[in-house]
Structures are given as structure tokens and as C-alpha cells.
Amino acid sequence: MHAEKLYRSGDSRAAWISIRELGAAVRRDHAMSRIEPILIDAFSRIRQNIELLHSRLPTLGYEFKHPQQAFVAATADDARQLAEIEDRFGVFPLSL
């Protein structure tokens, strides 16, 4: 697999296509260990963007109906619950 090389070279679209083509095999240890750096980087960026939006929107006049609920980070208990659901019903896509 060359997804990490593609991602690091700036071709994130091709990297994600490569990952998606793995299908269910993406969850196997050997595949996951290769794409984990991509996932960590990509979802860290996504979280940073969401946090930035959450903090800046009010400065632009946007009013959240429930500001404390507009962005709530996942907890260890959320991860536990997700694992239980996946055990029962099957795995979710990596992006959830």
C-alpha cells in the first residue's frame, strides 16, 4: 500500500482512494498500522478546523442556540460505547 506516501506528498485524494479500495481489509492490523498516521493527521486537522469555527463564529455574530453543545469532544466512554455497538452491529466507517 502506498497511501501514506501519497498523503505525505500532498496527494491526499489519491491516498483516500487507495484507503477506500481496501474495503473491510482496512481494519486488519497490517493495513491499519500503515494508514494510522494518515488518520491521526487528517482527523487532527479536522478537529482543529472545527474548534476554530466554533470559536470564531460567535465573533462574526453567529449565535449558537446551545453554545456548550455546539462542539463536544468525544470521551473515553464514547469510544467504549462505539466499540460495543460495532461488536453488536458491525464496524462503522473510519471517518465516524
pLDDT digits (tens, 9 = 90+) for 24-79: 888 887 888 888 889 899 999 999 999 999 999 999 999 999 988 999 988 999 99
Structure pTM? Answer: 0.74
Which residue would you say has higher pLDDT here, 50 or 96?
50
Q: How far apart are CA 94 and CA 1, in angstroms?
A: 17
Give how far Cα 25 sits from Cα of 22, 70, 93, Å.
Answer: 5, 34, 12
- CA dist., res. 71 & res. 53, Å (int): 10
Neighbours of 65 (CB within 10 A): 6
Amino acid at 89: F
Q: Do residues 18 and 2 make contact, with C-beta atoms less than 8 angstroms apart?
A: yes
